[in-house]
Amino acid sequence: MYFQVIVACGHIGKGREIEVTRYFKADSAIDAWDSAMIMPRAKKQQGSRCVRSVIEVDSMQFIKGKIAEMNDPYLQKGGIKNRLSA
């Protein structure tokens, strides 16, 4: 099963956050929720509230979403600062 998960993420300044859409392959919505909660940049201090929504999607939406993740500078190692200075 494939899931689209919206997660509150940080590391953009004190008290600030951004909602990021991530895509997970998981056995259930609960497993996708758990994966999102432990991913890097998630606002873990919010506990389970850092996950805003979990929606089951088909395989084509999953593939398109993973491609979008690869092109999102916020999700890349080194973040936006390194990509802008290149």
Q: What pLDDT, on the 0 to 100 scale, is given for residue 72?
A: 77
Q: What pLDDT, on the 0 to 100 scale, is given for residue 16?
A: 72
- Mean pLDDT for back-to-back runs of 10 residues, the chain (86 residues): 88 72 92 84 67 92 90 67 49
Length of the chain in residues, anyone?
86
- Residue ranges per structural domain of the chain: 2-85
- Four-residue CA torsion sign, 71, 73, 76, 81: positive
Q: Which of 8, 74, 6 is CA-nearest to residue 47?
A: 8
Look up the pTM and report it: 0.72
